[in-house]
Structure 1
């Protein structure tokens, strides 16, 4: 098959896979792995990346735009939920990047704030904040095992970069304190991110959800709890 036809074929397969949840069908997981491999080979912006790629992108300023004004609405929505559900508590920020969320949240105060990111380049910019309440470290979100329990675990535009996002979400949910919650921010222009969120909602209970928009961009901020947890 010519390269151009092959590319368009896989684009259509990818679109169908996410639009119709084909992973649920027989052999769906095989298709899901094939789509994932193709996404990574093509360098899709909403698919998993290797550590070296993340380091290169943070090194050349690729992610500097997320600290700009047009991203503020979604950050303050996340922060509002973080404070409302467990103000002053213990927080885990999975895929914290170079700390844009932390820089806005820290003034509200916390008992403990832990941030992990696969990129050493990003984490290096944050380690000056490490103290007895704050800890930033390089870690792969796909395999990281949290130290202790948390009131709130945040995936700020990071969940859909994991290779097994919903499986990882369920694993991280085991590190919640009783009554704790997970906050997931999702970019709505990404087929993959919306598919991940849709599946996550079948595994965990939705407590609340808000949509923010800025120009042509919009995000969903979803608060989730384990299905067997109370809503209080």
Structure 2
């Protein structure tokens, strides 16, 4: 049995976890080789000047705010997929189909970007869904870091309830790990790290 077949076999448990808790972690979403290839693709694009500083807000209101977030991003083009991106897209498309089949989420598309946080970079507490737009259904984070240790920091912090004093779940950004959570339910933040931090991040969306 190959890696993709293993992933398909694990899909029911992944979807059940999301349906039950609203969030779920899947280790080994990508193999070490696939993770390294995707990270190298991102690094080449970063070195080539294809990234830009991420902003907050949307459309004309979007602005770079260093006090809120410190990452740089480069959007993936689903029509022009680099070879290193193929395994990622194959799994995401299978995941989307399974979520629609089992949970009737009405997902029509995905939008994803490479995200690079320099040492010390962070993203303060926020919600992924805009107040006037419910297109984002599921937030998706796939980590690309190699040999990540807990002491390196950079955890994704989920608030399990709405208030700032609510219980929290910290998830380490280990390479190959996928995190899914409902975009309208979970406030979250990216904690500072002592190493550069890589991921492919985005959303499964309804038609906007």
TM-score normalised by the chain length of structure 2 = 0.31
Q: Which has the larger radius of gyration?
A: 1
Q: Which protein, 1 or 2, shows the higher relative CO under an 8 Å CA cutoff with sep ≥ 6?
A: 2
TM-score normalised by the chain length of structure 1 = 0.29
Select the structure that is richer in helix. Answer: 1
